Chain A
């Protein structure tokens, strides 16, 4: 059965989210306290983003790749997909810099300074994206949200994140059902204009449903005592391994900042 672009996109998005939710990573990162991971990777992301020396950024990228490789095949596949997507997007953005940045000329109109700038940008983006993905891939979503609360991210924001992931599946399910119901009632190929009209009415229907659902969810929260500030349960315990990892993260971040930024 032929499916249009929007329907295929929704289906793929649902499948990707579902797969990400089910992804079981393994390895040392999985066992680390989420607070240590969150703070540690945040430091490394800062170091990678502010590094001005390509070898240091490349070293951090290598570190990210190694951590992904030891975090199980699911995490490794996700990181490879990420590199491809981020590489294409950043490459497209950095392409003009190859030719337009003034500096000593190389072959095909590429300048040496341009090449270095483009490479620095590419590696920097790949590295920071790798670290950010490693947090999500190796930490159960509820634990990650609880860790955010430890760093004083407002409870309301954390509840909104949690509900957004929770309800994206519900809304995607509704959207898929609506597309299937529509397909069950027509035969043949519809003209583009009609398809666009249907996509627009589908989006309006989804908006209406999400508004209705948000009202119902708010009622359900109020009925159980929610008064604007959600209280969550702290279940974290820091082990010696977590402290050691925190020290290692700190040392690596310090070294990367020293060699990549301050020297």
Chain B
């Protein structure tokens, strides 16, 4: 059976959402197959983060439908204790701002927070937390308060705090934002090595990250879906990328004295 014949992990049908003072999403429809790595591309304010919140069950569609593995994703469905916890275990979210994601007193408490809320046994919590700390190479930070860590370390702790639950779907909001080049490379390497068969959804405006990781891209512009398809096709469509402000042109220098302009992107 081909990937397309399987039940999609997420299915969006005419999804609309607006904040009190501005519309965020309008008529967005596409689906995400199991095991796919999807890059949600779009300029600032295009609706990427809102769409991620809908997929993560942190906000709910005001128009249209969001389905998770065939079931409607609604507030009522997640309010049910068993169903809600099961969804949280299966869908992990790494937020853009690590200062919001890391709210516990120590790194260990941070990583153990999810397993504890799931009601796992003490032994299971200790074992899985230890494994996650080792996997992300952050055992040495175990007793450190998260606010004292560097940006790269915070990102690794945030990843550990989500991967400890072994989610089938991983949602990442700008995973390389505000990181130095070395930390960005580490995060991308990690995503390559450890994600395995998981379904991954990454919101980014970095074409570089999309090129490295994604096999499918969905491009948002002004809250609407501008394009959806294989990463190769989307990332080579210069007209699309320029019209959605993911590529731009301005003059710059390559070495002393030679200023010229061509389309490029700042990540």
| A interface with B by C-beta (< 8 Å) | 21, 141-142, 145, 162-163, 165-167, 169-170, 213, 216-217, 219-227, 230-234
Contact = CB atoms under 8 A, between A and B. Distances in A.
Interface of B: 53, 56-58, 81, 84-85, 88-89, 92-93, 95, 97, 99-106, 109, 112-114, 116-119, 122, 125-126, 145-147, 161-162, 165
Nearest to A212: B100
A216 B147 contact: no
B117 A142 contact: no
Contacts of A213: 99-100
Most buried by B among A21, A216, A224, A231: A224
Contacts of A145: 105
5 contacts: A162-B104, A219-B58, A222-B88, A223-B93, A232-B116
Nearest to A21: B145
A224 B114 contact: yes
Contact of B100 (A220, A226, A230): A220
* Most chain B Cβ neighbours within 10 Å, of A21, A166, A225: A225
B100 A227 contact: no
Contact of B81 (A21, A220, A222, A227): A227
A224 B117 contact: yes
A227 B122 contact: no
Nearest to B105: A142
Contacts of B162: 224
Nearest to B162: A224
Contact of A223 (B88, B104, B119): B88
Contacts of B126: 233
A225 B81 contact: no
B145 A166 contact: yes
Nearest to B125: A233
Contacts of A222: 58, 88
Contacts of B101: 220
Nearest to B129: A233
Contacts of B161: 224
A213 B118 CA distance: 24
Contact of B147 (A166, A220, A232): A166
